[in-house]
Amino acid sequence: MLPKRLNVIIVLVMIFTIVLTACSTSDAEKVCAVLDTGGENDRSFNEFTLKGARDAAEAEGLEFAHIVSEAETDYEKNIQNFIDEGCGLIITVGFLMGDVTAAAARENPDVEFAIVDVAYFPGAGCDEGLSDCYEEDLANVTSLMFSEDEVGYLAGVLAGCMSESGVIGSVSGMEIPPVVKFVVGYQNGAKSQNAGVETLNVYIPDFNDPSTGKQAGQSMIEDGADIIFGVGGNTGNGGVLAAHEAGLLGIGVDVDQYNTYPDVAPSLLTSAAKNMDVAAHDAVVDYANGELEAGVKLGTVENGGIGLAPYHDQESNIPDACKAAVEAAEAGLIDGSISTGYTP
């Protein structure tokens, strides 16, 4: 029989071991998301990435936390706070978080990261001398990317075919690659239907400024635009609202905004949708199953990662010829016979 004091020591050691194991398990099973500026209820980018990640975490029995960045200066500290909290997977949302995400990943190789809208290449996110950023430098990073120019092109085909004035507009957020890809595709898609169409665009350096977005949309309408594509969170939403209030047509972005922005739903032709909720959901599921791989996951028209949302209320107002033009453009993008005209 063991001495009473030795029994107490053994029990204490067992309790300490259990506590350590529980902490380790909790840390490994916590998923966290750092959202961009624009708020978690932006009806598009942040909101649906958050939804996909949170739904997957709950389904997989993982702890989940998120934070909204109020300014670009918050990115680094928000990521670090989640590292300190022991998050096993940190999802960062948006192109502007590219540098801070890469830095955090290098400093914390035991933490996995998934970033939306940023891909790393030698000379662009990692050293030029490397052959593969993900194999040699960022082996704990997964990039969730989308061919925005493709779905922008399809939206442009529809707008170019539908416009009666021959003038269309896009109210855009910051001039960063994902936004530029949408715009370039949209403009070239419209020109494929009407070589003389006038394409108006403005970049607004804020994703959460619907008032300025609305003013920009109103200005374009005064210049003859009869369709407005909102490309930039709440800022773009302001442009679509201007079209709605003027009795004109709008095109949503990122998600099917017919469902998320009911104020303008009757005026929406469609939305240029990126299935960010699906991408974030799948990344969390892969993480939970130990199958999240470093590298780029690209959503395209061909694999269903992007595409036009249903026409909803406008279905009967869209001529069959315009619907056919969209279908033909989609087929051309898939088989490579059509180029969006976007070059990085």
Domains annotated for the chain, with CATH where assigned, are 28-146+278-299 (3.40.50.2300), 148-273+311-335 (3.40.50.2300)
CB atoms within 10 A of CB 320: 7
Burial of residue 12, with CB atoms counted within 10 A of its CB: 0-12 exposed, 13-18 middle, 19 or more buried: exposed
Write down the pLDDT at residue 41: 86
Low-confidence stretches of the chain (pLDDT < 70) are 1-28
Q: Rounded to an integer, what distance in angstroms lies between the CA atom of residue 101 and that of residue 266?
A: 39
* Residue 10: predicted pLDDT: 41
pLDDT in tens, 84-108: 999 999 999 999 999 999 999 999 9
Spatial distance between the Cα atoms of 268 and 241, rounded to a whole number of angstroms: 10
How far apart (Å, rounded) are the C-alpha atoms in residues 32 and 66? 5
pTM metric for this prediction: 0.87
189, amino acid identity: G
Residue pair 262/244 in contact (Cβ under 8 Å)? The answer is no
CA distance 219 to 212: 11
- The Cα 56–Cα 53 span in angstroms is 5
Backbone angles phi, psi at 169, to 5 degrees: -135, 165
Give the tens place of pLDDT for each residue, 33-86: 999 988 898 777 899 999 999 999 999 999 999 999 999 999 999 999 999 999
Supply the pLDDT for residue 3: 52
- Residue 30, beta-bridge partner list: 63
Angle, CA 95 vertex, CA 37 and CA 251 arms, to 5° = 75
Residue 110: how many other CB atoms lie within 10 Å: 9
Cα maximum dimension of the chain: 96
Q: Distance of alpha carbon 162 from its chain centroid, rounded?
A: 27
